[in-house]
A and B are shown apart, each in its own frame.
Chain A
Amino acid sequence: MAILEDHLVLARALYDDMKRAHTKGEWPIAVDAGFYAVFHGMEAINALECRDTYSFADAADILETILVERGLGQQFASDYRYLFYFRRGALYGAHFPSEKQMNEYIGRADKSYSAIQDYLRKADHRAVSSAA
């Protein structure tokens, strides 16, 4: 239920934290920051289009029923699910991720974060075009 700007600022900070932590081998921070960078990026899109999530179940539902067809696509939805369940297993569950698994996780978070930035740039372009 936050404003667009707050979601963007936090997503950026967490994305940078993910990169830094991954370089230092601090996998719990890299996993947490990577997931939440993507989550708050998605929330920025939702804020831009007058939606809020109240739970992770909401976020998944909005992604699958609205954001996929509005341009984020099925690959993004698949990557988001991967990030969500990997984070839950690694941070809440029994698992300690390997370096190879972390590289895949960071790769998917990177790709998802970029897809959000592309979506926001196009949305901004659409807003400018319709105002002209």
Chain B
Amino acid sequence: MAKQAQHAEKANLFWKLAQEQYNQRATPFICMNLIMYTVGHLIESLLAEQGRHPGSPVRGVPHADRGALMRRHLVGEGKLDEANADCYGELVALRDTFIDGGIQDRAFVERYMTLAQPLIFRLQKLAQPA
């Protein structure tokens, strides 16, 4: 499991790449994932401060448990609000890496970035040292 500093470093790296790829109009699938990984590492950085780390289903990835821990602890303690948690849930639900709804296009990733940005800014602010 990663520590707070490692999550913070990855969040910075992935957000830099996400913005570059988005501005270069790169493959929307890649932009979408980099945005999601930024959100994930910012949340896990805050959870790691409390010694909490999401688990994963067998042969899976930790998005659902991350959301549950975020709601229970970060929203529960008043650091984030319900709308932030709903936004995270929507980002996970829309991500669709199995392309059930077809391949993501530019319009999709623009909506995805618009949805994610306020949450990313909120999380970045929270993660800054006091």
- How many residues on chain A are close to B (CB under 8 Å)? 29
Cβ contact within 8 Å between A32 and B33: yes
B103 contacts chain A at the CB level, 8 A cutoff: yes
Give the total number of A-B pairs whose CB atoms are below 8 A apart: 69
Decide yes or no whether A40 CB sits under 8 A from chain B: yes
Given contacts A29-B30, A29-B34, A40-B99, contact A57 B57 (CB under 8 A): yes
Task: Annotate A1-20 by CB proximity to B: 1 below 8 A, 0 otherwise.
Answer: 11000110110011001000
A93 near B2 (CB under 8 angstroms)?
Answer: yes
Asked whether, in the complex, the Cβ of B99 is within 8 Å of the Cβ of A10, the reply is yes
Task: Check if B68 is an interface residue, CB within 8 A of chain A.
Answer: no
Shortest Cβ gap from A63 to chain B (Å): 11
**What is the predominant secondary structure among interface residues of chain A facing chain B?**
helix
Q: A6–B102 contact, CB under 8 A?
A: yes
Q: Which residues of B lie under 8 Å from residue A91 when comparing CB positions?
A: 37
- Does A56 lie within 8 Å of B103, measured CB to CB? no
A94 contacts across to B, CB distance below 8 A: 1-3, 6
B26 contacts partner chain A, Cβ-Cβ < 8 Å: yes
B98 to A17, Cβ gap below 8 A?
A: no
Could you say which residues of chain B place their CB within 8 Å of the CB of A57? Answer: 57-60
* A→B interface (CB under 8 Å): 1-2, 6-7, 9-10, 13-14, 17, 26, 28-29, 32-33, 36, 40, 43, 53-57, 60, 84, 88, 91-94
Which residues of B are at the interface with A, using a C-beta cutoff of 8 A?
A: 1-3, 6, 13-14, 17, 21, 26-27, 29-30, 33-34, 37, 40, 56-62, 97-100, 102-103
